[in-house]
Structure 1
Amino acid sequence: MTIKLNPCSSHGKRKQKEEEMFRLICYLSFLLLSITTVYSEQEKSVYDVLKAHGLPIGLLPKGVKEFKIDETGRFEVHLDQACNAKFESELHYDMNVTGSLSYGQIGALSGISSQELFLWFPVKGNSS
């Protein structure tokens, strides 16, 4: 009994391994790119997000400790401490501010109130 070796069969296996390695490298590159994109999205500050939505960055005070936004635009801002800011009227920011963000406007706000004369009123929204 004689066995003949096909010289092309080792070449075919090598080519198959190269294709598998190429697929693995492509998959890992895609995975790394996806992770990097998610990480860079999370690294955006609340002020970057306001600017990207056509709103002035001064809508929220300095001292934002934590910021979250979901795909629907619902956001949460956590400040180091409650504070007041003076615009046309005086605004009070609680430590936690929530709302809904879309291009050019913020709605469904909670955690911000405005003083008119001697009374405080909740701020429900703002648009530019």
Structure 2
Amino acid sequence: MQLLPRLKKLSLVGCPKLTALPRQIGQETTSLKELQLGDVQSLKVVENLAFLSECLLIARCEGIERVSNIPLVRELRITFCPNLRRVEKLGSLEQVWLDEDMKDLSSLWVPGLKHQR
């Protein structure tokens, strides 16, 4: 039995105690197109979202350190994530939107994304 097989958009906002995304989001939500994370301070990693196919938006998530292995996502939007050090394995990525506050930090991982593409 799949969890939410028709779910297309998921927004998690203001979840200060969330430390990990449920495993089912990456493995069973086969229709997921957009994931929005906002003010999720304890989450450190967003990874292994095999079916996320359109947009990943991460805003004001100070704990995020890594975004990895989201092979189908086409758009990445990030704002105020001061600890984000690694972004990798986004094989279908077409657009990256970064706020001014991410300019210096993104220099750590944007060249790697270009190389992967």
On whether the aligned pair clears a TM of 0.5, the verdict is no
Structure showing the higher helix proportion among its residues: 1
RCO higher in structure (CA 8 A, sep ≥6) = 2
Structure showing the higher strand proportion among its residues: 1
Bigger Cα Rg:
1
TM class, shorter-length: under 0.3
Q: TM-score, length-normalised on structure 2?
A: 0.26
